[in-house]
Amino acid sequence: MGFCPEHAITCLFYRTQYINIDRYGRYEDSPILGLGHFSLRKWFHISLFANFVFSNAGAVVTLLGTLFWLFTHFAWITHAQGWWVGIVTVIIATSSTSYSMAFAKMNYQILGWMWWPIILLLISSDQLLLASFALLGMALAGLTPIVLIVPIVFAMSFISSDPYVILTLMPGLVVSGIQVIGSIGLGSLLTTLKEIGGMIGAVSGGVRYKRMDLKLNWTFLYFCIIYSFALFFMSYAAGEFLILPSIAIGIFVINQSLFRIADIQSVIVVVFTIFAFEAIQLGPDVLVAVSLWTVANPIVSVLGINKGVKRRGLASEISYKPFDHSRLETALKEFLIGVPKGSSVYFAFDDPAGNYDHIFDGYRSLLELPLYVASQKEVHLFPDWWAVMETNYEGAPQCWGRSVPEVKLNCERFSADYAVIYDDTGKGLDADWLKEFDLMTIFDWNEIDSATLNDVLYSHKNPNLQWYLLKKISSSDS
């Protein structure tokens, strides 16, 4: 599913989506997601094609998609000085951003973003019919890219004083509209959008979980500084204030500080591609090259690369090969082997106390493994992100708690005969658990794959993680 272990395991999220769509259908309910009756219609944003391809070949998609995005910049060679196009492309190809997209952070969205450079070229060269087909390709790959591109295309129409530029969006918007309305219908649209708005931070009133990561942080400030630096000097070289890069930066700021429409890697691609577009059009200039290089090469730590640099050094941390998760998958199947099809399993986490960033106690990436294996077994393991979405309102059912009474209560509340609890202290299972539950199996991360555990839990010191599968003792057994 990827090259970086953390990213590859996290991307099993999309394989779980594929399993549910393939098994139950896009317009039905899934009994193994959310609280046990999750409507798959709410996944209106998912492209079936992109989901299928990425779920079955995640590492190939991110690498080839990035290469496609990169090499389409060469199409400018007939519209600008060839050697300058070559320099710009080399800056792009050797950048930390491109490396991150190919190997560390990007997901199925690359199937939409890979059309971005050619769309800009076709619009700027007045090949609007071809541009509309490229935008259609972007829309077929996902909803997020086409949504984020709308203000850019409108701005290009304004700059060129050509209203027909806006029409290039129509095929993509029509396809996206049919997908959205066809999935959830007009009647459920507002309700679903409100739920999604609560998850991305666009709606704050009446929600249980607040997105604290939308507040100012060093990563956000760092990107604002380097983008502002590049915008100033590239505008100085152009002799005028550049509108498109400023809009792209505005999209980044809104996404990172107001509401999260897309993952950060997607908005980084928006900004990077726009600056490359401007650099090629402006032509040879040292200030332009320096500005583009600055945008292209954020320090690797803020891109999600080299998170453990103090532990193992720069070179070892940023050298990735395809990560094979099959050994972990096999071990998880053994861990859950005693759970029959159709059962429910409560995975115990602390109450995040209204903080979206504290959901799943920092183990979000690792959780995707058992969720994926449970989906294969047709077992309902919860809470997952969809349970969070369904309970993201004040007064919603409580699905958190790690103490014996809390776990027992949640098992009864949600008709779960099984529970998974974790211990990261090294103390092992407390005897109090055995008064209410039978111990079935143990999944010890340090015995199974301690290297992967260290890579994924880079922020934890000396991780010592064990999962315990418990079965509730029934009254007839006691």
Instruction: Judge whether 254 lies within some domain.
Output: yes
214 shares a domain with 352? no
364 shares a domain with 264? no
Instruction: Judge whether 296 lies within some domain.
Output: yes
Tens-digit pLDDT profile for residues 143-167: 899 999 999 999 999 999 999 999 9
226 shares a domain with 363? no
459 shares a domain with 422? yes
Tally the residues of the chain: 478
State which of 280, 295, 316 marks the end of a domain: 316
> How would you classify the pairing of strands 380-382 and 437-444?
unpaired
For residue 110, give the nearest of 11, 211, 227, 247 by alpha carbon.
11
Instruction: Judge whether 205 lies within some domain.
Output: yes
341 shares a domain with 261? no
What is the band of 209 on the pLDDT scale with cuts at 50, 70, 90? confident
Q: How many CA atoms lie within 13 A of 39 on its CB side?
A: 14
CB-neighbour burial class of residue 216 (10 A; exposed 0-12, middle 13-18, buried 19+): exposed
Q: Strand ranges (DSSP E) for 412-465?
A: 418-423, 437-444
Tens-digit pLDDT profile for residues 242-298: 999 999 999 999 988 887 888 889 999 999 999 999 999 999 999 999 999 999 999
Residue 38 — left, alpha, or beta (φ > 0 → left; ψ -120 to 50 → alpha)?
beta
Mean pLDDT of 48-75: 94
In the prediction, which pLDDT does 151 show?
Answer: 95
285 shares a domain with 396? no
In the prediction, which pLDDT does 452 show?
Answer: 78
Within 10 angstroms of residue 45's Cβ, the number of other Cβ atoms is: 15
393 shares a domain with 297? no
341 shares a domain with 206? no
β-bridge mates for residue 437, sequence order: 472
pLDDT at 353 over 60: yes
What is the band of 309 on the pLDDT scale with cuts at 50, 70, 90? very low
121 shares a domain with 263? yes
β-bridge mates for residue 470, sequence order: 419, 439
What is the band of 314 on the pLDDT scale with cuts at 50, 70, 90? very low
Instruction: Judge whether 12 lies within some domain.
Output: no
For residue 242, give the nearest of 287, 303, 299 by alpha carbon.
287
pTM: 0.87
Instruction: Judge whether 115 lies within some domain.
Output: yes
101 shares a domain with 209? yes
In the prediction, which pLDDT does 112 show?
Answer: 94
Mean of the per-residue pLDDT values of the chain: 88
In the prediction, which pLDDT does 277 show?
Answer: 97
- Helix pair 128-141, 143-160: axis angle to 10 deg: 160
Instruction: Note whether 380 and 36 are within 8 A (CB).
Output: yes
Distance CA 307, CA 392 (A): 31
Instruction: Judge whether 200 lies within some domain.
Output: yes
168 shares a domain with 264? yes
Distance CA 205, CA 61 (A): 38
In the prediction, which pLDDT does 477 show?
Answer: 56
Instruction: Judge whether 178 lies within some domain.
Output: yes
State which of 254, 286, 316 marks the end of a domain: 316
172 shares a domain with 278? yes
pLDDT at 468 over 60: yes
Tokens 């209106």: give the residue.
44
Instruction: Judge whether 431 lies within some domain.
Output: yes
Number of domains observed in the structure of the chain: 2
State which of 316, 340, 358 marks the end of a domain: 316
Q: How many CA atoms lie within 13 A of 282 on its CB side?
A: 25
Tens-digit pLDDT profile for residues 354-383: 888 889 988 888 999 999 999 999 999 999
CB-neighbour burial class of residue 24 (10 A; exposed 0-12, middle 13-18, buried 19+): middle
What is the band of 450 on the pLDDT scale with cuts at 50, 70, 90? confident
| Structural domain containing residue 333 | 326-472
Share of the chain above pLDDT 90, in %: 64
> Between 25 and 194, whose confidence is greater?
25
Distance CA 149, CA 261 (A): 12
